[in-house]
Structure 1
Amino acid sequence: MWILDIVALMVALAAAALAVVALRRQTAGRHPPGADALPEDVQGLRQEVAALRVEGGDALRHLAVVRYDAFGDMGGHLSWSLALLDDSGDGVVLTSIHGRSDARTYAKGITSWTCEQQLSPEEDEAIAHARP
């Protein structure tokens, strides 16, 4: 029985050796991408980056938070205004005003860095800080 085991092991080793030789021959004919492939690759990457910039232009990626005391008798800067805007200045300003007994939250739409509704000084400040 052990003779069959030895023969099987020898056949497996021979097959592995042949596979290594075949793999070396196969990869020897190929060469890594050289200078000829580089411009095509770089051009493709440039196109992908340009597409990602266009796609990411609508992302709300410009943001700023302004914290403040809405009332003179309150401390801790619990009130805040948050500007969330895209590259074109479109987005929203969220404001939360905290008092002793209640809190109120407001949302105002922003288009091209401006708002049709009147903005508080803190909301204007948040938009200014979010603007690149």
Structure 2
Amino acid sequence: MQPLDIVTLLVAVAALLLGVVAVLGQFRSSEPTRGDADALPSDVEGLRREVAALQGETADALRHLAVVRYDAFGDVGGHLSWSLAVLDDGGNGVVLTSIHGRSEARTYAKSIADWSCEQQLSPEEDEAISHARPSDRR
């Protein structure tokens, strides 16, 4: 390393340390003290309202995901076939399946509404939906 590189590195490390110290100082100064205890309930209630609003906004987000990998055929190993469930809070979304054979692969998509499908699901697709479903909705 060149002397200039070493100096640059030392300055960068020093700047990083100063930044960390400044952030920690702000964090400590923002912690509530005994005198601020009266203001805490209104802040907590405001945060509760904000969290409830955010939960309402994300209800339609496709955030429940699960993948099941398996061997679709006895002569093809490596768990190259898979089913992926992508669902929102209401169990609406899609299950994607890719079946890998020795010479080809096929991909399927099935719509899911309210945790079920109008088309027949394979055991692996059903398992992916089951794993994607939150435990409080099983």
| Same fold? TM cut 0.5 | yes
CA distance in 1, matches of 2:99, 2:73: 9
Paired letter, 2:70? Y
Aligned twin of 2:112: 110
- Percent of pairs identical after alignment? 81
Aligned twin of 2:38: 36
CA distance in 2, matches of 1:49, 1:40: 14
Q: Show the 5 A alignment for 1:41-52.
A: 41-52=43-54
Among 121, 130, 133, the alignment partner of 1:131 is 133
Q: Deviations over 1:106-132 (max 9, x none)?
A: 111100000011111110011111111
What secondary structure is seen at the aligned counterpart in 2 of 1:63? strand
Aligned twin of 1:93: 95
CA distance in 2, matches of 1:43, 1:73: 60
Mean CA deviation greater in 120-129 or 52-61: 52-61
Aligned twin of 1:53: 55
Alpha-carbon offset, residue 39 of structure 1: 2.3
What secondary structure is seen at the aligned counterpart in 1 of 2:94? strand
Which 4+ residue blocks in structure 1 deviate beyond 6 angstroms?
none
Paired letter, 1:99? G
Aligned twin of 2:76: 74
Alpha-carbon offset, residue 44 of structure 1: 1.0
Paired letter, 1:85? L
Alpha-carbon offset, residue 55 of structure 1: 1.2
CA distance in 1, matches of 2:70, 2:37: 58
Q: Deviations over 1:11-41 (max 9, x none)?
A: xxxxxxxxxxxxxxxxxxxxx8823322221
CA distance in 2, matches of 1:47, 1:125: 36
Alpha-carbon offset, residue 103 of structure 1: 0.7
Question: How many residues matched?
Answer: 101
Determine if the alignment matches structure 1 residue 64 to structure 2 residue 66: yes
Unmatched 5+ stretches in structure 1: 1-31
Q: Computing the radius of gyration over CA atoms, which structure comes out larger, 1 or 2?
A: 1
CA RMSD of aligned residues (A): 1.5
Unmatched 5+ stretches in structure 2: 1-31
CA distance in 1, matches of 2:104, 2:42: 62
CA distance in 2, matches of 1:89, 1:69: 26
Mean CA deviation greater in 77-86 or 38-47: 38-47
TM-score, scaled relative to structure 1: 0.71
